Chain A
């Protein structure tokens, strides 16, 4: 029989000390929608579960016009899409929190947990990358910030050291002419894992793409920021040609494998299709037209 210890720290300080003490043996428990399933099938047998949900910094959800959005790592999806201000300001984030799991799962599952689980297929991660989110990481030794695109290092692995935790995500306030979107493809209409996903954002000014970002899910060992796709947009007239070039760049950058969810060739094709469709939607959200 496998027994686990359970800790429920009430302050960030207490929480960080728990990780300092237990190190590799400690496992952060937010919604548990990945962790408990992994424990049940025997993939994780760690000794100490640290429940993050009583730490104020991890359950904070706050929007500030200057600082942007502070999204505590243990805030469940339903709070994100239930917040009217966040809905209006970050539709590209809402795309993912409404997509992850069913209603019951959304009551527990967190965006921070989705990132820390570091699955290549994580739906929230390409959206966070497109939104230029950064990770606020802490340990008893202090704080550091890491852009989301640099957070994941391999399937199930990330930059967190044994004693560190993800405290929150910070999303900058969207500038004028900004639009974002996340689309994924699944064979069914629900209850599935992305065969491929594309999170994009654009900033439009005077009929030109001033900026653009494209990130992909499920087509590489980690979520992938495609710099070439952004470059294909930047400085170009807002139109189908630039979108098509960005989509082609996304397809070229994808490094998928063949598995039960799809072949490599099929996934590369999906990167192009999803990037194009997501960009079309993002342009629309930014108030632009493709002509």
Chain B
């Protein structure tokens, strides 16, 4: 299905009558708004995904399906304490059990060197990665891995784990950033000092880093503001909640080569980090990424991969680990709980004059809470002259944070977008009009430095105004409507892609990006567009680290953008080669051959790609091409939500009546998958808003580590999530792609909070906004 071509200038008028774009309109949902000015033959259509049959029939192979002959099964012994010194570990009873082959602890790992390592979406100290894999000296959170066991069966491995005797000396623990920042708080790391303005603090601290950005003069801006609102917000620790638990099979071969099969967003990250921890050359490690049952950033870190490798080395057998759901909750990275203060001032005419924020995020046991991207995004949607932002990265006794879909940005938006709403209401302005009046645009400089290139913040807000949802009446008591906008940068990083042309005119596409959300197809479509052949004629495959060039993680909304770009470049090389082949057939100079839509022509003669491919043997042999990219020109994405809720003031329950997600995606390569990403981010945001949280006991242990009690929304808790794709082409990408995976999780929590406020007049300053919290806020507002 082709997309309509609409001039952005006429966008508003067009939106009212927009029609016929995709499956949505057939099912009675609102159609997408397409603003891109360019149309393509393949990019922008909705072919069936290449891996669809295997996924639907259950044939796709996941990590848990890997079972090599002679495999041993692993279990991890985890800390029962939130913070404790390890006095001793006695593994002798476990090791002497029948069917137990080996036990490893931190002592079996090579000592951690003090060096910096790239862990997929940034750098960290190797000693932190090392310490998280197996605890040495101290355990820093309940669930911290202490020992790994390899046994003849998973049950035996678990029994052996319980036979390991660990003597702990419990220590005081800190569960939130404000607690851990107290001078009297117990230190997690004696060698951690605060990095602040390029200097190191005098004394060790739980604050790993303090970053400050200022622009203009915030104090002066507030002095010139007629309306000033300041509030403090807190959000709970939440987990990405991917359905497939982490898993790994490792085989340390007799030739010294290590082969790892696992569920990961970055096979090369697993390869490189495992090699560094084990102090072996990266060339000795091969990682095969299996199909992935969700990651959302949580499957970037390395957990038991080095442990499985060590156990395999010790036993000479393959060793396999599969986490339980409880392991996933307590042993893998959730995203940071946060404490954020926001102050915004505006004049009576609706112009924002000053914005100020203090963000303190819980990094978990090791530095790296993603507070810095949170601070970079917090006011990104606004063009404001006077801004001050302070970010604190704080270690606490919780699992070490991993990335989670636009990591750091949702916590910031929950605070900022509620204060923006309140300022608009005090001035008496429509919340969308207020945001539009102050919207960031091309040339706006963010407080953290960068100046925006072409962005779609205004177009996203205009799309809300033009959408039928915005005008739809909302009747009945205790119902309210909320709006919020959010931003995420997206990233570029490195990708590789190889194309092999078959003699029947199909093309094998080899790439290294774990397929999340249909990226095999969105990458293949970009190659197909360049080659002028159908998407179905490209056969994409995600391969192991020995079989493709280096490729960074599937994360940062980069895969369709960057690996797609590599496919584009490789396809251009194929086109150039095919021109040369045609020239050879016709005894012409390659420069004389033209290519358009898969047909090569010169001097009135023409030949289709398929026929030319069939001639490859006669024209010089097989045609293959490889391209690698490290693209600049990353385009940030703005996303917004319009949400209607109904609150039961007697029980505090919130029902989402209607939810529309808007996002500037640059160019939707495969609109169905783009809609899926927008819906997925929205659903995770709804869960974060209403019920999800790590419910911690007084002793710092997680009480609700099951999917029964850690309440993610079910299909019965959600309305159909309507989507409105906004396409403001990214000038930095051949097809205008920005990346779509993350920005959509940023606005849901504040949009829902604003809708709750509209419905029952309460301002929720803490996540989750679960029924007891809403009920008690309603009671409080009634008694006051």
| Residues of A participating in the B interface, judged by any CB pair closer than 8 Å | 1, 185, 187-193, 195, 259-263, 265-266, 269-270, 273
Contacts and interface: CB of A to CB of B under 8 A. Distances in A.
B775 A190 contact: no
Contact of B714 (A189, A193, A263): A189
A185 B714 contact: no
15 contacts: A1-B155, A185-B653, A187-B690, A187-B771, A188-B713, A189-B714, A190-B716, A191-B714, A260-B703, A260-B704, A260-B709, A261-B709, A262-B772, A269-B650, A269-B775
Contacts of B711: 187-188, 192
Given A1-B159, A260-B704, A273-B651, A188 B776 contact: no
Given A1-B155, A260-B709, A273-B651, A187 B691 contact: yes
Contact of B776 (A1, A190, A266, A273): A266
B703 to A, nearest CB: 5
Q: Name the 5 nearest CB pairs between A and B, nearest first.
A: A266-B772, A260-B695, A189-B716, A273-B650, A190-B716
A84 B252 CA distance: 63
A263 B708 contact: no
B770 interface: yes
A98 to B, nearest CB: 14
Nearest to A195: B771
Interface in B666-698: 690-691, 695
Which interface residue of A1, A187, A270 has the most chain B CB atoms within 10 A?
A187
Contacts of B708: 191-193
B546 interface: no
Contacts of A261: 709
Contacts of A189: 714, 716-717
Contact of B770 (A187, A269, A273): A187
A270 B775 CA distance: 10
Contacts of A192: 708, 711
A273 B653 CA distance: 13
Contact of B775 (A1, A260, A266): A266
Interface of B: 153, 155-156, 159, 650-653, 690-691, 695, 703-704, 708-709, 711, 713-714, 716-717, 770-772, 775-776
Nearest to A267: B772
Contact of A188 (B155, B156, B159, B717): B717
A265 B652 CA distance: 13
A40 B539 CA distance: 43
A71 B478 CA distance: 42
Contacts of A265: 776
A1 B770 CA distance: 41
Nearest to A258: B772
B171 to A, nearest CB: 25
A103 to B, nearest CB: 13
A188 B716 contact: yes
B771 A266 contact: yes
Contacts of A195: 771
Nearest to B690: A187
A261 B771 CA distance: 10
A79 B331 CA distance: 42
B703 A263 contact: no
A229 to B, nearest CB: 18
Contact of A190 (B155, B652, B714): B714
A214 to B, nearest CB: 17
A188 B653 CA distance: 9
Which interface residue of A185, A188, A265, A269 has the most chain B CB atoms within 10 A?
A188
A202 to B, nearest CB: 21
Contact of A1 (B156, B652, B703): B156
Contacts of A190: 714, 716-717
Which interface residue of B653, B690, B695, B771 has the most chain A CB atoms within 10 A?
B771
A185 B159 CA distance: 39
A262 B156 CA distance: 38
Nearest to B715: A190
Nearest to A259: B703
B496 to A, nearest CB: 43
Nearest to A263: B772
A213 B690 CA distance: 34
A68 to B, nearest CB: 34
Given A1-B156, A192-B711, A185 B772 contact: no
A102 B465 CA distance: 41
A188 B714 contact: yes
A187 B692 CA distance: 11
A88 to B, nearest CB: 27
Contacts of A273: 650-651
A96 to B, nearest CB: 18
Nearest to B710: A260
A188 B691 contact: yes
Given A262-B772, A265-B776, 5 more contacts: A1-B153, A187-B690, A260-B709, A262-B771, A266-B775
A243 to B, nearest CB: 14
Contacts of A259: 703
Contact of B651 (A191, A263, A270): A270
Nearest to A265: B776
A187 B653 contact: yes
A189 B717 CA distance: 6
A277 B623 CA distance: 73
Nearest to B155: A1
Nearest to A274: B651
A262 B768 CA distance: 13
A178 to B, nearest CB: 27
B157 to A, nearest CB: 11
A187 B772 CA distance: 9
Nearest to B693: A260
A262 B652 CA distance: 11
Contacts of B690: 187
A139 B615 CA distance: 86
A258 to B, nearest CB: 9
A140 to B, nearest CB: 36
Contacts of A263: 772, 776
A199 B351 CA distance: 56
A60 B174 CA distance: 56
Which interface residue of A1, A185, A190, A266 has the most chain B CB atoms within 10 A?
A266
A185 B717 contact: no
A270 B650 CA distance: 8
A262 B695 CA distance: 11
Contacts of B156: 1
A187 B711 CA distance: 8
Contacts of A187: 653, 690-691, 711, 770-771
A39 to B, nearest CB: 12
B772 to A, nearest CB: 4
A263 B773 CA distance: 9
A281 B650 CA distance: 17
A128 B753 CA distance: 40
B155 A185 contact: no
A186 to B, nearest CB: 9
B546 to A, nearest CB: 39
Nearest to A273: B650
A185 B772 CA distance: 11
A187 B690 CA distance: 9
A270 B772 CA distance: 10
A185 B771 contact: yes
Nearest to B712: A188
A109 to B, nearest CB: 15
Nearest to B655: A189
Nearest to B697: A260
Contacts of B716: 188-190
Contacts of B159: 1
